[in-house]
Every structure is written in C-alpha cells, then in structure tokens.
Structure 1
Amino acid sequence: MVTAEDVRRVAMSLPRTSEHLIRDRVKFRVGQIVYVALSQDETVMGFGFPKEQREALVASEPHKFAMPSTSDMRFHWVHVRMDAIDRDEMEELVTGAWMMCVPKKVIREHLER
C-alpha cells in the first residue's frame, strides 16, 4: 500500500512544491494551486486530473478511482484509494497533477535532470 510518506517523498521532490496542513489534511501545492491532497485518515488521495478525462478514468477502474465530491466537481480533481495503487502509479499520478500547475519550462528543466 502507498503511504502518505511515499506521496510526500514524490511531491516534495518536484520543483515549486510546498506542503500544507489545512483542516487536518495534508496538501501539496504550487503557489496557491493544490495538486494533491490526502484524506484525514490518509487512505484516499485526491489529485489534479483533466475534467474531460476523469469519467473515463473512473469508469475504467472503479475499484480504484472515484469522482470528487459534488462541491469539487468544478475542479480538475479525482480520488484514488491508496491501497489500490503501487508506488509507480502513485508517482505517475502525482507528477501528472504537478505538471498541470507549473509552466512548461519548469517541467522541461525537471525532466532534463
């Protein structure tokens, strides 16, 4: 199972990321944009994901992914059960969410390292 510490290790390795504790939830953001958040019990990870693709993602693996709450439907957001993914998939989801928040130049520089 992926842990909060695994998510933290990946997120904090990404340029411009900062960690915040907001209403007892760990959130990772670039500037003011949250791109990954953990549930209070750290069993679910919310992450940035293109709105137009999220229904297909959730439908493809409903045991793993879930739509955000009604109040979060306006955001580019999806939930995933942390016990349903491995570290490689978590790293891909976190990195993809981060890439939605930073300039292309920052992405290029990070990938070149």
Structure 2
Amino acid sequence: MADADDFRRIALSLGGTSEAPHFERTAFRAVRIYATLAPDGLGANLLFTPEEREFKCLLAPDVFRPVANAWGRQGWTTLTLSAASEAELQEALAMAWRHGAAKKKKG
C-alpha cells in the first residue's frame, strides 16, 4: 500500500522534477506537469497516453481510473494510493514522468 509520502519521494527522485502548488493540488513537473497529488493525499492524477490509460485501467481497475471530461480523454488517469503497491506507483510515476519530461511538440 502506497501513500502520499511514497508518492512525493518517488516523484522527486525522477530527474528534473520540481514540486509546486497547482490550484488546490500539488503538481510535479519536469518540462511540464506529469502528476498532481490530491489535497487529502489519498489519490493522484498522472499523465499517460490514452492507450496507456486504457491499459492501466483494464489491468488494475482498483488502482487506476480515467479522469472525467477532456482531461481523461487526453490520458490523465487517477491513481488511488492505498490500492497501489509501491512497485505499481514507481512504474506509473516513471511512465508519467517520461511524458512530462518530453519537449512539447509544436504545431
């Protein structure tokens, strides 16, 4: 079972990651935001591709679920920390970090 301290420790261990407030959440960014931690520390939103999101939600529906609305259609996925193992959290954050560390495409 993972928690907010695990989330923060793992996210900040990923290259170039910084932590800052983002509306009511805490954002973790490399080149751009790739994860946000809920104010209650119970869940987080991660940046996946839509295909990665679909796979994660099918593989572990107790851990992952799509974010509603346009954000979810872009791949943003909610992770329930208490349902995730530390290994699942590590892998999910690394996947999201790769998207956040990539330069934005122009055009």
TM-score when normalising by structure 2: 0.83
Counterpart of 1:49, as a letter, is F
Q: Per the alignment, in what secondary structure is the counterpart of residue 94 of structure 2?
A: helix
Q: Give the drift of 1:17.
A: 0.8
Aligned-pair identity (%): 29
Q: Which runs of 5+ in 1 are unaligned?
A: 104-113
Instruction: Say whether the 8 Å CA contact 2:66–2:75 is kept in structure 1.
Output: no
**Letter of the 2:92 counterpart:** L
Q: Give the total of aligned pairs.
A: 103
Which ranges of 4 or more aligned residues in structure 1 deviate by more than 4 Å? none
Look up the match of 2:49: 50
Find out whether 1:16 has 2:9 as its counterpart: no
Q: Secondary structure at the match of 1:89?
A: helix
- How far residue 23 of structure 1 moved from its aligned partner, in angstroms, is 2.0
How far did residue 90 of structure 1 move? 0.6
Structure 1 segment 59-98 matched on structure 2, within 5 A = 59-98=58-97
CA distance in 1, matches of 2:21, 2:70: 20
Residue 12 of structure 1: CA displacement?
1.1
- TM-score between both structures, scaled by the size of structure 1: 0.79
Q: Specify the structure having the higher radius of gyration (Cα).
A: 1
Report Cα offsets for 1:51-109 as digits up to 9, x if no partner: 12322321232222111121412433111111101111111111111112325xxxxxx
